[in-house]
Amino acid sequence: MATQRSRQKILVIGNGMVGHHYVDQLLQRQLDVEITVLGAEPRPAYDRVHLSDFFAGKKPEDLALTTREFYAQHGVKAHFGDGVARIDRDAKTVTTEAGLHYSYDKLVLATGSYPFVPPIPGGERDNCLTYRTIDDLGAIKAQAAKSRIGVVVGGGLLGLECANALKNLGLEAHVVEFAPGLMGVQLDDGGSRMLRRKIEALGVFVHTGKATREIVDGQGTRLRMNFADDTHLDTDMIVFSAGIRPYDQLARDCGLEVGARGGVVVDYHCRTSDSDIYAIGECASFGNFIYGLVAPGYRMAETAVSQLGEDKSAFHGADMSTKLKLLGVDVGSIGDAHGRAAGALSYVYCDERDEIYKRINVSADGKTLLGAVLVGDCAAYDTLLQYFLNGIELPEAPESLILPSIEGGAPQLGPAALPLAATLCSCHNVSKGAVIEAIDGGCCSLGEVKSATRASTGCGGCSALLKSVVDYELEARGVSVDRSLCVHFAYTRQELFHLCKVEQIKTFDQLLDKHGKGLGCEICKPAAASILASLWNDYVLETPHVGLQDTNDTFLANMQKDGTYSIVPRIAGGEITPEKLVVLGQVGLKYNLYTKITGGQRIDLFGARVDQLPAIWKELVAAGFETGHAYGKALRTVKSCVGSSWCRYGVQDSVAMAIHIENRYKGLRSPHKLKSAVSGCTRECAEAQSKDFGVIATDRGWNLYVCGNGGMKPRHADLFATDLDDETLIRYIDRFLMFYVATADRLQRTSVWLDNLEGGIDYLRQVVIDDSLGICDELEARMAAVVGSYQCEWKTTIESPERLKRFRQFVNAPDARDETIVFVEERGQIRPANDEERRELIAVHQVA
């Protein structure tokens, strides 16, 4: 009997973030393996790092990293809610708690860790909880609902996250820490003290140097914690977040080597003492160290996957530097934060007024950065990290890296000093080499490099660094990116906008005479027309402007392939009365137009000859319609879902707000079209998150999203501000739109504009919300002027016989028609005849 070559069986125990990453990476390699996953938790892998988002309204599904369907589709056998009880290394099988058996060729332990609960008498009560899994959160939420005070035991990363969660649940939040200071692993004493000061200012109570002796019944509260120093703290609930311990019992039981401090010992291939068994993530011990961050766990998973293929990589430990926001406080830690290395020297900057603490630890010879601590200001983090990771020689006066701006400014780490392997963007693991590759591959702007490499599209913290590298490399290649608008104007659109504003330039001729040359072209004329319209809001077909307008604007209608036009009256918010619907139907019938409903929730009428436009619009205007600006680089539509007026789920009146917004900004001319939407609840039926600016109702007001778009390269909008009242919402939109209008490039959508904005969304918030440039009054005034000078340009057109003359096909034969416009019937309506149909029809016509 011939033996069939069977596929290698890979069994993964544990489906946390690292366990799933292993499976995901293995699937991408497309090796001939059979993968089985066993998870003890009842659900597939989810983002444990963002667990506290659960309290901000997210559901378990929102945190999910994968689904049962995904595994099924990719042929991965997955079994959840049943932990492994025992490994038989000789038989190469495992047995689960429920008694199921699985065999393996290679086994991967990704069992992770569990929260350490100090053995305190009274700590086993049911109002003493842990903070680790989604199920834990359910319990915390339930307990918090009947509590006034909450205590977190543990003042590390997770503990502070948990304290934030309790605070958001409305509790008086306390942190109890055994050590003398918070985050003792990542921060030195000074940093720790500053962090405490800032957290206390936020209303969280901090108790350090407290060892809990026992937990007993409280008086007036449910519990009382008695400390070793004879003080006590009253509370209603306790959450333990005092450290993690690896789940290594399976390894111990089957005789695998285990570290002195726990964890399954692995080599640099992530192999345990059994060559067929690997361990990755928090259950593993490498060099007697357990890596408690997810990024090193991912690197270990990738290393373990590579052992199955040809190209085996190695794990040599991972950097534990981290930058994060805790309870709103910026905290950064790099390398040896405490300066413990022999001979290390440190520089410390501490500003108690602005609550900023910065420390760097350097080698005895002053040349190498060994570590750093940042609290309250992490601006220097990227630069310091590059020095640390790449061993770049520090400047003469290293303190300049952390001191505030002084004469001459702080030395910048020149992009040239960074080696190719330097990681510029840690969210997406993009090296300087990858950025150079993108540039050599044709990218010649910051936005293009971001698109190609994904750098700076995660947290955005590396944007300044990325820009300096991109600018440097472009210049080094002799690429002087000419940002002139066109051959007629040696300025960018932003510069021309500024010139027109400041010099009060009102016509293209004036602009050409003062700052341009030649006649102009199809690039600068419409751009100038848009700038002039944004600034002065004249009727766009006014004599000096008529020759500037592009294909559609020039006849206030959308030209179709045969030279006829489509007509789109405005239907604000997508709401229309039956009477008005009837009018549109009647106009469609009378002029034999093709009608269609648009994605923008309005109605489009096709097949009008240029000379029919006035008559059609006369009827529409008489019935109360206005132009919909479908032809312009202007506000198009503000979609809506039906909201609280009718919908069971709506929490605000989204239709009213959509109509209000659309009526406010209609007529605004902009660098590119603007689309918006307002949704009445988180179900988001109006698709606001794919809009230039979108609004989603919350029970406390409106969330504003910006810089999304659909089209060829869809982009999700970014959350800009939350729970705004009506007035603030409009104020921010006013400012946002006018800032975009003033500074964007020609034909630059808001998404691309944001991508190219140095400092990204944070900078945008500073400008719009904090008024960091001091221009908000001006932006609002300019918007008010535009809103106040609105005219429906079709109404203006039909009221003037002089302006109507524009809409003749023939100046010398007003009754003659363009014979080449021919329609055929399809699905009960007209459509333009194609060439063949046209030939046949003309032939028939000639014979007749």
* Stretch near other proteins under the rule CB under 8 A, chosen from 42-50, 409-417, 556-564, 591-599: 556-564
Maximum Cα interatomic distance, the chain, rounded to a whole number of Å: 111
Compute CA distances 448 → 310, 437, 718, whole Å: 34, 12, 19
* 2, 813, 844, 847: residue in contact with other proteins (rule CB under 8 A): 813
Stretch that binds other proteins, among 128-136, 237-245, 364-372, 811-819 (CB under 8 A): 811-819
* Helix (H) / strand (E) containing 778: helix 776-788
Q: What is the dihedral of CA 241, 247, 248, 254, to 10 degrees?
A: 150
Alpha helices in 134-256 (DSSP H): 134-145, 157-168, 189-201, 249-253
Nearer to other proteins, 275 or 834 (CB): 834
Quick check: helix, strand or coil at residue 825?
A: strand
Give min distance, CB of 481 to other proteins, in A: 21
Structure tokens at 507: 């016509």
- Count the site residues for other proteins by CB under 8 A: 34
Nearest approach, Cβ of residue 582 and other proteins (Å): 33
CB of 820 to other proteins, least distance (A): 6
Task: Locate 220 and state its tokens.
Answer: 């007036």
User: Which span sits near other proteins by CB under 8 A: 133-141, 165-173, 208-216, 540-548?
Assistant: 540-548
Look-up of token digits 């601006």: 379
CB of 496 to other proteins, least distance (A): 17
Q: List the one residue out of 148, 146, 151, 154 whose CA is nearest residue 128.
A: 151
Answer yes or no whether residue 563 interacts with other proteins by CB under 8 A: yes
Least spacing, CB of residue 313 vs other proteins, in Å: 51
Asked if 358 and 404 touch (Cβ cutoff 8 Å), the reply is no
Using the rule CB under 8 A, is 487 a contact of other proteins? yes
In the complex, the smallest distance separating the C-beta of residue 822 from other proteins, rounded to whole angstroms, is: 11
Provide Rg for the chain, Cα atoms: 33
Q: Identify any residues that bridge with 94 across adjacent strands, giving them in sequence order.
A: 87, 102
Query: Interaction with other proteins in 355-374: which residues (CB under 8 A)?
Result: none
Burial group, residue 207, by CB count within 10 angstroms (0-12, 13-18, 19+): middle
Residue whose C-alpha is closest to residue 297's, from 284, 281, 320, 311? 281
Please state the closest distance from residue 194 (CB atom) to other proteins, in A.
Answer: 60
Query: In the set 330, 542, 550, 619, which binds other proteins (CB under 8 A)?
Result: 550
The answer to whether 671 contacts other proteins (rule: CB under 8 A) is: no
Torsion over CA of 545, 551, 553 and 558, rounded to 10 degrees?
160
Residue 558 touches other proteins, criterion: CB under 8 A: no
**Strands (DSSP E) along 3-161, which ranges?**
8-13, 33-39, 77-80, 84-88, 93-96, 101-103, 106-109, 113-115, 128-130, 149-153
Compute the distance between CA of residue 528 and CA of residue 495 in angstroms, rounded to an integer: 12
812 contacts other proteins (rule: CB under 8 A):
yes
> Per-residue contact track with other proteins, 779 to 808, x per CB under 8 A?
--------------------------xx-x
Cα 780 to Cα 719, 783, 785, distances in angstroms: 22, 5, 9
526 binds other proteins (CB under 8 A): yes
Interface stretch with other proteins, choices 172-180, 207-215, 559-567, 724-732 (CB under 8 A): 559-567
- The nearest distance, CB 134 to other proteins, in angstroms, is 55
Asked if 809 touches other proteins (CB under 8 A), the answer is: yes
Phi, psi (rounded to 5 degrees) for 569: -70, 155
Q: Which of 188, 282, 473, 562 binds other proteins (CB under 8 A)?
A: 562
**Interaction between residue 837 and other proteins (CB under 8 A):** no
Q: Tell which positions 506-525 bind other proteins, by CB under 8 A.
A: 518-522, 525
Could you identify the residue written with the tokens 């005849």?
833
Which CB sits closer to other proteins, 425 or 567?
Answer: 567
Q: Which is nearer to other proteins, 516 or 701 (CB)?
A: 516
Question: By CB under 8 A, is residue 310 in contact with other proteins?
Answer: no
What pairs with residue 324 in β-bridges?
331
Would you tell me which residues interact with other proteins (CB under 8 A)? 487, 518-522, 525-526, 543, 546-551, 554-555, 559, 561-563, 610, 805-806, 808-813, 816, 818, 820, 835
